[in-house]
Structure 1
C-alpha cells in the first residue's frame, strides 16, 4: 500500500471523525467538560462498547497515528492489524498501538467490552524529573509484540486503574489534579510493562529485515540523539548507506529518519524546560547546541514558540 493511501490521524478529533458516527465531545459519564486544562496534548478514554455503537464501516483501512493507544479487552473479540501483523485479540488481552505505527481495524465482535485510551507524547510529559520515556516501553517498540495476556486478577487491577484515570481526568480542577491524572496514566503503563517483562514468549517476534532496521534505528536514536545529530552517524552504526536507512525508515514509519532525531531532541528539550529550573542557555549547552540562538530557532521551528514562552505557558 502506498503512503498516500494511509490515513494520518493527528489527535482524538481525527480519530472520532475517521472511525465514528456522531461522536460526543467526551465519552466521560461523570461530566460534560473538563473544568481544568493545563499544558498541551490530549487524553481520551472511552468504553469499547460505546465506540462499537458508533463505529463506521472502515474495516481494513490503514492509518498512521500521531499518538499512542492502549486497549483493554474484557469481552468479545477484536481483529486488528498492527504494523504488518494481523492479530485476533480475545478477552483478557491488553494491546498497544505506538506513535507512527501502521494500524487497521479488521473486525470487532458485537459483544465487545473494554476500554480504549488515547494520548499523545505531550500529554505524557509529566512535570517530574527523570521520567520514563514512552519509546522505552517494550510494547511501543516496533520490534516487540504489542500485547500482553492478563490473568483475572490483572484484568481487575487494570480496570480499577482505568476507572481511577477516568475519574481523575473528568474531575480535575487544579494543577495537582491534572498531575495526578498523568501519574495514573504512567502507573498503567508501568504495571503493563511489569506484566510484559514477566511473560515469556516461546516464539521470537517476527519482523522483516527492513522493519528490524527501522526499529534498531529508533532505539539508537533514543540512546545517542544528543551526541549524534545526523542520519549518517546512525547509518554507520548500522553498517548501511544513509540513503538506504532513510528510505527504510520512511517506508516503515511514514517519516524520514531525520524526523526522529529532531523529535527526540524536542521532547528532551520540553522535558528539561518543564522538569528542571535550568536556564535555557544551560539546556542548550546540555543538548549539545553550540549557540544559544540556534537552539532557540530550532525549538521555535518545531513547536511554534520560543523555549521561554513554552516554559511560561506550560510550567506551573
Structure 2
C-alpha cells in the first residue's frame, strides 16, 4: 500500500497556499504591518469561519507544520488527525498542534466559528525573559492529549485574550509595541496550561511503542541537550542502539534524531543572545562547546548568520 504524501509547511505562507484558495496577505484588515527581518518569527490570527469560506479541499491530506497552532472552537464541529489519533472536537474546545506534529483536517462543519492562531518558535522566543520553553507545555508534548474542554467562563476569557492579542498585533507600529503582543500570547499559553493541569486525567494517553520512544527521546533532549549532543548519548539512556533510535525518530517525526538536539541548542543560544548581555564566548562555554569558533560555525550553519549578527538583528 502506497504511503500517503506528507506535505511540510514551513511558515504562514506555506499554510495559506496549502489550505486557502485566495489567501490574503494578512488575515486582519486593520493591521499596521511591520516588516520583519528574516528569523524574527511570525504570528497570524484568523476567524475559523473565514478560513472555512476560503478552504481548499484538503480533507485527509497529511502535513507537518514547522510552527505551533492553537484553535478555539466556539460553534460547529471539527474532526482532525493529530499524530496518529483522530479527534472529534465540539464547541467549547481549545486544541493545540505542536511543531512538526503529523496533522490532517478530516472535516470542518459548515457552521464552524472560533479562532485560529499560529506562530513559530522564533516569535515566542522573544515573549519574555527566561520564559518557559514551548515544548514544556503539556499540550505540545507528543505523549499528552492535545486539547482542553472549557467552561462558559473560560470560553469568554479565552475569546477576550485572543481579541486582545489580535488587537495589540493590529495596533503595533514599532518593534517595542510588538513585545506586548508576545506577552499576550504567553498569557494565553499559561492560562491554557493552568486549565489543562486542572483537568489532567489519571488515564494514560495511549501511544504506539514507536511514538512512545519518540516522545521519551524528545523529553530527554529537553532535559540534557546542554551536556549530551550525540544521538548515541540518548540511545544509551534509552537502552537501545543509536541506529534503531535514529530510524524510529525519522519514521515518526520526519527528521533525524540529531535535528532535535541541534534545534534545542540553537533555540537556547538564540534565547541567550536576545535575552542576556552575555558574550558569545560565555554562551559557548555555558552550552559546553569546545571553543568559540566551533560554536560560531555551528550557529551560522543552522541560522545563516553569526551569533553577533543575530543579536544585532533582534535587539530592540
TM-score normalized by structure 1?
0.97
Compute the displacement of 1:130 (Å): 1.5
Kindly tell me: are residues 252 and 152 of structure 1, through their superposed partners in 2, closer, same or farther at Cα, counting changes over 3 Å? same
Counterpart for residue 138 of structure 1: 138
Distance 1:196 1:240 in 2: 33
Once the two structures are superposed, what CA deviation does each residue of 1:225-245 show, in whole Å capped at 9, x if it has no partner?
010010111011111111111
Determine whether 1:158 maps to 2:158.
yes
Which runs of 5 or more structure 1 residues have no equivalent in the other structure?
A: none
Compute the displacement of 1:148 (Å): 0.4
Distance 1:298 1:127 in 2: 25
Compute the displacement of 1:128 (Å): 3.7
Compute the displacement of 1:35 (Å): 3.9
Which runs of 5 or more structure 2 residues have no equivalent in the other structure?
A: none
Kindly tell me: are residues 132 and 15 of structure 1, through their superposed partners in 2, closer, same or farther at Cα, counting changes over 3 Å? same
- After TM superposition, list the pairs within 5 Å mapping 1:120-131 onto structure 2: 120-126=120-126, 128-131=128-131
Distance 1:275 1:149 in 2: 34
Is contact 1:67-1:120 (8 Å) kept? yes
Counterpart for residue 70 of structure 2: 70
Kindly tell me: are residues 88 and 4 of structure 1, through their superposed partners in 2, closer, same or farther at Cα, counting changes over 3 Å? closer
Distance 2:131 2:295 in 1: 23
Counterpart for residue 216 of structure 1: 216
Q: How many residues are treated as equivalent by the alignment?
A: 315
Compute the displacement of 1:180 (Å): 0.4
SS in 2 for 1:123: helix
Kindly tell me: are residues 2 and 280 of structure 1, through their superposed partners in 2, closer, same or farther at Cα, counting changes over 3 Å? farther
Deviates more, 1:193-202 or 1:111-120: 193-202
Counterpart for residue 83 of structure 2: 83
Distance 1:226 1:35 in 2: 35
Query: What RMSD over aligned residues (CA atoms) do the two structures have, in Å?
Result: 1.4
Determine whether 1:102 maps to 2:102.
yes
TM-score normalized by structure 2?
0.97
Compute the displacement of 1:49 (Å): 0.1
Kindly report structure 1 stretches of 4+ aligned residues shifted beyond 6 Å: 1-4
Is contact 2:4-2:62 (8 Å) kept? no
